[in-house]
Amino acid sequence: MEFQNGKTLTEVVLITLKTHGDHRGSFTRTYCQNEFHSAGLPTNWVQCNHTITKRTGTIRGMHWQTAPKAEGKLIRCLKGVVFDVAVDIRPDSPTYGCWEAFELAGESLNQLFIPRGFAHGFQCLTDDCHLFYQMTEFYAPRWAKGFRWDCAEVAIEWPHSAQDLSQRDKSLPTLPETH
The alpha carbon torsion through 108, 70, 146, 50 (nearest 10 deg) reads 40
Pairing of strands 13-16, 2-5: antiparallel
63 is catalytic: yes
31, 63, 130, 160: which is the annotated catalytic residue? 63
Which positions ≥6 away from 88 have C-beta within 8 Å? 9, 95, 96, 97, 98, 99, 117, 118
Pairing of strands 25-28, 73-79: unpaired
Q: How far is CA 78 from CA 8, 71, 75, 161, in A?
A: 26, 21, 10, 23
133 is catalytic: yes
Q: How far is CA 106 from the centre of its chain?
A: 14
37, 96, 130, 133: which is the annotated catalytic residue? 133
Q: Quick check: helix, strand or coil at residue 178? A: helix
Closest listed residue to residue 47, CA positions, set 72, 84, 67, 28: 72
Q: Annotated catalytic sites, by residue?
A: 63, 133
